[in-house]
Amino acid sequence: EAGVVQSPRYKIIEKKQPVAFWCNPISGHNTLYWYLQNLGQGPELLIRYENEEAVDDSQLPKDRFSAERLKGVDSTLKIQPAELGDSAVYLCASSSEGRNEQFFGPGTRLTVL
Amino acid sequence: GENVEQHPSTLSVQEGDSAVIKCTYSDSASNYFPWYKQELGKGPQLIIDIRSNVGEKKDQRIAVTLNKTAKHFSLHITETQPEDSAVYFCAAAYSSASKIIFGSGTRLSIRP
């Protein structure tokens, strides 16, 4: 069984530029999560989707961050414009309905210069 | 909201010895406690979890204990091996909300 796929794995951009991350969850997993992981810290939830509906986006900085999960499968997380403080690893995870266990992708390491 | 504290932040043990990582949580409603292992350049991987109706769970060399009264839970790794070197995260969640709150991580190093 394929795991959670994320791309790109690494991204370097200048501040004020836009950037987008893509995630393909494990087949059949209806719940998808985007996390932010700063260096030396644990992941922090940005947004959670149940199918195509965002059911928890309370921690998503909506002035510059947006996300979508069209058709309830793949998801894209966008930052526009990026700031220096956005440099971090962005992790995507998925879980199946009614299950707590979350499976993480390898993450996208973003560096904003 | 839930807050999870994890100690120590770094831990170095001799190969073959045991390692213990401890966590506390604040929300008594939390009832699901997973542990994740994160290797360099990879996402966290679930290694074991425990629910609040169980006090202890073991899987080969790893075990978790939960004290609901004190709101403490711990990870025990016995007979440590070089491949156990990684960052370990504890976490807590209220199952129906599916929102997992992570601790700050413990960097475990196994000395040969």
Report pLDDT digits (tens) over B42-93. Answer: 999 999 999 988 899 999 999 999 999 999 999 999 999 999 999 999 999 9
Predicted confidence (pLDDT) at residue A106 exceeds the cutoff of 90: yes
CB-based contact A100 B34, cutoff 8 Å:
yes
The C-alpha atoms of residue A20 and residue A86 are separated, in whole angstroms, by 12
Look at residue B96 in the predicted model and tell me its pLDDT: 57
CA angle A109, A19, A102 (to 5 degrees): 50
Q: Which of A102, A103, A108, A109 should be substituted to probe chain B, the one whose Cβ sees the most B Cβ atoms within 10 Å?
A: A102
The beta-carbon neighbor of B105 closest among A42, A101, A107 is A42
Chain A residues whose CB is inside 8 A of the B91 CB are 42
Look at residue B97 in the predicted model and tell me its pLDDT: 56
Q: pLDDT for A41-97, tens place per residue?
A: 999 999 999 999 999 998 999 999 999 998 889 999 999 999 999 999 999 999 998
Structure token pair of residue A100: 């707590």
Rounded to the nearest 10°, the torsion over CA A25, A53, A61, A95 is -30
**Shortest distance, CA A71 to any CA of chain B (angstroms):** 21
Predicted confidence (pLDDT) at residue A101 exceeds the cutoff of 90: no
CB-based contact B103 A56, cutoff 8 Å:
no
- Taking CA–CA distances from A5, the nearest residue in chain B reads B43
Look at residue A1 in the predicted model and tell me its pLDDT: 64
Chain A residues whose CB is inside 8 A of the B99 CB are 45, 48, 56
CB-based contact B43 A44, cutoff 8 Å:
no
Could you list the beta-strand ranges (E) of B17-85: 19-25, 32-38, 45-51, 56-59, 62-67, 72-77
